[in-house]
Amino acid sequence: MILVIFGVTLLIAMYSTYAERKVAAFMQDRLGPNRAGPFGLLQPLADAGKMFFKEDFIPSQANKWLFILGPCLAILTALMSSAVIPFGEGFKFDDLTIPFQGVELNIGILYVFGVVSLGVYGLMVGGWASNNKFSLLGAIRAASQNISYEIALGLAMIAILMMTGSLSIRAIVEQQHGFAWNLFNQPLGFIIFLTCAFAECNRTPFDLPECETELVGGYHTEYSSMKLGFYLFAEYINMFVSSALISSLYFGGYNYPGMDWVRETLTSSLGASTGYNLATLVGTLVLFGKIFFFIFFFMWVRWTLPRFRYDQLMNLGWKNLFPLAILNVIVTGAGLLYNIRYASWIIVAVAVVVVLASSARAPKGAIQPQRS
């Protein structure tokens, strides 16, 4: 099961590179890669082949073992985190039920966090071992950014943990049965989580660690060949895993409206185990639909927004998202205490009112031209 999940993860990461290029092209009114195979579908294979046959160069002043360790760590941690995501309810063979999940951990969400934090070491080790100022700067940026945004990420999720009372991702998903998705309880938490997920994946608008305009290539400046490929691959795997996590935590994972009806009709018409398995597969497809939407959303945002400046990044993380996340936790807690279900919407409502008030108070009239 775990090997299947790794395989699927790698396949999706591979085609994410293709999708990224296609999405980028389409948003810029181009066509994108379309020469290798029909619609360019073999492009990832061609890219991988190219990566393998390039010269594997290690700078003479670099720390050789750490230099090799960096990309290995990055891809290892990226792959490990996909193990605890529940992709479906499970498969029944007579009386044997196998859950569609790599490992069922009762602290799944903590595991994901731990592994994702370890992922920073991949970038840090690689950037430091390159013995290059740009690489080191990129690595330091990656580390500080990930640490800063992990706090808001964790706090946004604590609100969910408070509501479900479990650290197991499967339990969290099962509580969102049908259409009771966490999104409707935690709108603010969702926005914070999404923003922080972008930052954790080092995606635009938070891709300062590999900021080409300032740092040449960031932490992977000195890398070539498949080591570079591993770094890029790790980025796409991280993207897949965080999309899966967002869908599981806020969009109900494999739950969808009308799932009970689907399972009942399938089990009554096809027999208990076959029907159950088919229903699981439908749920898995729904989950993958959600995941693909979020992967698309990641790319969509990447080709829409420009990069933050570094101080803006830190301001956003520490001065805005962090207090908002704490506020969200407090309001959710109060809501749980006094049994108000949609307590978190109060924050949103207040925010909307304040925004409208501030734009109403803003001075109207002609825009003063800026003096040049």
Partner 1 sequence: MQLTNRSKQVSNKEMTLAEKMYLPAIAHGLAITLKHFFQKKATIQYPEVKKYLGPIFRGHHVLKRDEQGRERCTACGLCAVACPAEAISMVAAERKKGEEGLYREEKYAATYEINMLRCIFCGLCEEACPKQAIYLRHDRFLPVFTERDEVIYGKDKLVERLDDRYVRTDSEVKATPTEPSLSRSAN
Give the residue with the Cβ less far from partner 1, 3 or 362.
Answer: 362
Distances (CA, A) of 138 to 61, 116, 124, 203, 311: 18, 18, 8, 14, 15
Given the rule CB under 8 A, which of 25-33, 52-60, 169-177, 271-279 is the region that contacts partner 1? 25-33
Measured CA to CA, the distance from residue 190 to residue 147 in angstroms comes to 19
Q: Which of 27, 105, 183, 281 binds partner 1 (CB under 8 A)?
A: 27
Rounded to whole angstroms, what are the CA distances from 113 to 78, 88, 118, 283? Answer: 11, 21, 9, 25
Stretch touching partner 1 by CB under 8 A, among 76-84, 111-119, 243-251, 359-367? 359-367
Closer CB to partner 1, residue 61 or residue 368? 368
- 213 touches partner 1 by CB under 8 A: no
Q: Report the C-alpha gap between 254 and 74 in whole angstroms.
A: 28
Window 295-334: contact mask with partner 1 (x via CB under 8 A): -----xx-xxx-----------------------------
Question: Measured in whole angstroms, how far is the alpha carbon of residue 317 from the centre of its chain?
Answer: 17
Q: Please identify, using beta-carbon distances, which residue of 35 and 55 lies nearer to partner 1.
A: 35
Whole-number Å distance between alpha carbons of 220 and 236 = 15
Give residue for tokens 């370890």: 118
Choice between 4 and 351, CB closer to partner 1: 351
Report, in Å, the least distance between residue 320 CB and partner 1. Answer: 9
Instruction: Please report which helix (H) or strand (E) contains residue 87, including its range.
Output: strand 86-93
Q: Give the separation between CA 80 and CA 78, rounded to whole angstroms.
A: 6
**38 forms part of the interface with partner 1 (CB under 8 A):** no
CB 231 within 8 A of CB 126: yes
Work out whether 364 is an interface residue with partner 1 (CB under 8 A).
Answer: no
Q: Which of residues 2, 4, 7, 26 is near partner 1 by CB under 8 A?
A: 26
How far apart CA 130 and CA 219 sit, in angstroms, is: 8
- From CA 285, how far away is CA 8, in angstroms rounded? 13
Closest to 242 (Cα-Cα) out of 189, 290, 185: 290
| Six-digit token string for 194 | 């999404």
- Near partner 1 by CB under 8 A, which window of 153-161, 171-179, 340-348, 358-366? 358-366
Among 2, 4, 31, 272, binds partner 1 (CB under 8 A): 31
Answer for which of 29, 55, 95, 311 binds partner 1 (CB under 8 A) is 29
- Residues from 180 through 199 that contact partner 1 (CB under 8 A): 191
Position of tokens 């996340």?
Answer: 325
Number of residues that bind partner 1 (CB under 8 A): 27
Cβ of residue 19: shortest distance to partner 1, in angstroms?
12
Contact positions vs partner 1 (CB under 8 A) = 23, 26-31, 34, 191, 300-301, 303-305, 351, 354-356, 358-359, 361-363, 367-370
